[in-house]
């Protein structure tokens, strides 16, 4: 019985090995698969190497993603510390794992310098070979991805505030930051002048930027304020979504919340809050004068003041219950999270301004009741 179980386990193990879509190469079969009219990504590994063991299951998944296209692209590996040592020596392998990209016609391979996550490797193969993987790609990140060719246009030469994370694909702290960074970018997606971006500062072509801005560890976060791009501010606070939102609100002059909504202060103007207070405290002709003053002042302030004037206009024209009814209407609409972000922002600002009047109105009412 014990023998039968051992034999069964051996068969299962062998079938699993045979099922692998990663091609095992050695000096005898290398030229049969590489440089024969189709490109190849080859991993040079050592069985004892911890990084190689960590990469192994990911590399298997990458090969599976291109199993449908074996006639167009090769995903292979070489035990460069064993039977494949001569191949490792031939191609200058000095550390494990080393990944090299071989062109269809052979020749000198290209060292792979990117990340070692599934998406990194799949995207690299697809880009180089033009072959799409069988795995549906994840949605692009909300933050802007920079490189040496786009950095100056987005960060330095723009009139926008930009928060940049300088990261490296192999950095554990960077990997943990990634989902938070994406959430922060989504929170500020409606703020066109407040940009959240990322730069792979360990990529060969981008390293000069890391050196220029004094990046010595990963991740390094720097805020480039508009008008002072030559003096970026290093962010050294907590790496939570809440902390980043608070930081950007302070630096960009925005009023975003975690989740991308607006705070209670969004759209509020201190000048007009004062006029609202005076408006509700006044009666008759005095109220008409304040309304006219607010209308005149709004011309110089611009669209930001228009809703204050709109509320005053409704009340002056006899709609005394307008504030209460509009407050309830806006509250109901804001519960409809299916509305477009821009529409939600518009409604929230109107609700905030109505709240300014409503609070004044309630204060005045309470004072009248006490008399």
Which candidate, 278, 345, 351, places its Cα nearest to that of 312? 278
Residue of 195, 211, 198, 131 lying closest to 157 (CA atoms) = 195
Specify whether 166 is located in the same domain as 74: no
Among candidates 147, 145, 252, 250, which has minimal Cα distance to 190? 252
Higher pLDDT, 169 or 215: 215
Q: Which domain holds residue 155?
A: 144-252
Q: In the structure, what pLDDT confidence band is assigned to residue 359 with cuts at 50, 70 and 90?
A: low
* pLDDT for the residue 301: 92
pLDDT, residue 15, reads 42
Does 9 score more than 60 pLDDT?
no
Check whether 166 has a pLDDT greater than 90. yes
Q: Using alpha carbons, list the distances in angstroms from residue 313 to 274, 281, 334, 358.
A: 16, 16, 24, 15
The answer as to whether 295 is a domain residue is yes
Q: Is residue 165 part of a domain?
A: yes
Q: Give the pLDDT confidence score for residue 74 in this predicted structure.
A: 97
CATH at residue 36: 3.40.30.10
Please answer whether residues 104 and 38 qualify as being in contact, where contact means their C-beta atoms are separated by less than 8 angstroms. yes
Residue 361 has pLDDT above 70, yes or no: no
Average pLDDT, the chain: 90
Residue 136, pLDDT score: 82
Q: What is the mean pLDDT of residues 178-194?
A: 97
Tell me the catalytic residues: 49, 52, 171, 174
Residue 368 has pLDDT above 80, yes or no: no
The answer to whether 39 and 110 are in contact (CB under 8 A) is no
Residue 121 lies in a domain: yes
Question: Given a cut of 70, is residue 18 above it in pLDDT?
Answer: no
Q: Are residues 235 and 328 in the same domain?
A: no
pTM of this prediction exceeds 0.75: no
User: Could you tell me if 297 and 222 lie in one domain?
Assistant: no
Q: pLDDT by residue (tens digit) across 64-107?
A: 999 999 999 999 999 999 999 999 999 999 999 999 999 998 78
Q: Which residues pair with 44 in a beta bridge?
A: 78, 98
């Amino acid at each position: 019985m014990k023998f039968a179980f051992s034999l069964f386990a051996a068969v299962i193990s062998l079938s699993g090995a045979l099922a692998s879509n990663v091609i095992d190469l050695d000096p005898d079969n290398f030229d049969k698969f590489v440089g024969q009219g189709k490109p190849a990504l080859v991993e040079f590994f050592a069985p004892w190497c911890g990084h190689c063991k960590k990469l192994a299951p990911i590399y298997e998944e990458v090969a599976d993603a291109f199993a449908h296209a074996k006639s167009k692209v090769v995903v292979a590996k070489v035990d460069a510390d064993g039977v494949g040592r001569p191949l490792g020596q031939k191609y200058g392998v000095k550390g494990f794992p080393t990944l090299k990209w071989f062109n269809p016609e052979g020749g000198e391979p290209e060292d792979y310098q990117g990340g070692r996550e599934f998406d990194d490797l799949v995207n690299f193969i697809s880009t180089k070979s033009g072959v799409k993987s069988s795995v549906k790609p994840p949605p692009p990140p909300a933050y802007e991805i920079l490189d040496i060719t786009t950095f100056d246009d987005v960060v330095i030469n723009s009139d926008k505030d930009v928060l940049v994370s300088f990261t490296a694909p192999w950095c554990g702290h960077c990997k943990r930051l990634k989902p938070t960074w994406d959430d922060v970018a989504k929170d500020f997606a409606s703020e066109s002048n407040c940009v959240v971006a990322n730069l792979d500062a360990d990529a060969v072509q981008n390293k000069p930027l890391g050196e220029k801005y004094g990046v010595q560890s990963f991740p390094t976060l720097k805020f480039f304020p508009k008008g002072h791009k030559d003096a970026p501010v290093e962010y050294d606070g907590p790496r939570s979504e809440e902390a980043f939102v608070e930081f950007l609100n302070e630096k960009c002059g925005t009023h975003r919340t975690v989740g991308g909504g607006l705070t209670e202060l969004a759209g509020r103007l201190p000048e007009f809050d004062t006029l609202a207070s005076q408006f509700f405290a006044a009666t008759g002709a005095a109220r008409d004068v304040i309304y006219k003053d607010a209308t005149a002042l709004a011309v110089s302030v611009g669209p930001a003041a228009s809703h204050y004037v709109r509320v005053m206009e409704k009340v002056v024209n006899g709609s005394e219950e307008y504030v209460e009814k509009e407050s309830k209407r806006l509250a109901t609409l804001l519960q409809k999270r299916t509305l477009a972000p821009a529409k939600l922002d518009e409604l929230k600002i109107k609700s905030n301004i109505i709240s300014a009047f409503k609070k004044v109105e309630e204060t005045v009412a309470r004072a009248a009741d006490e008399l």
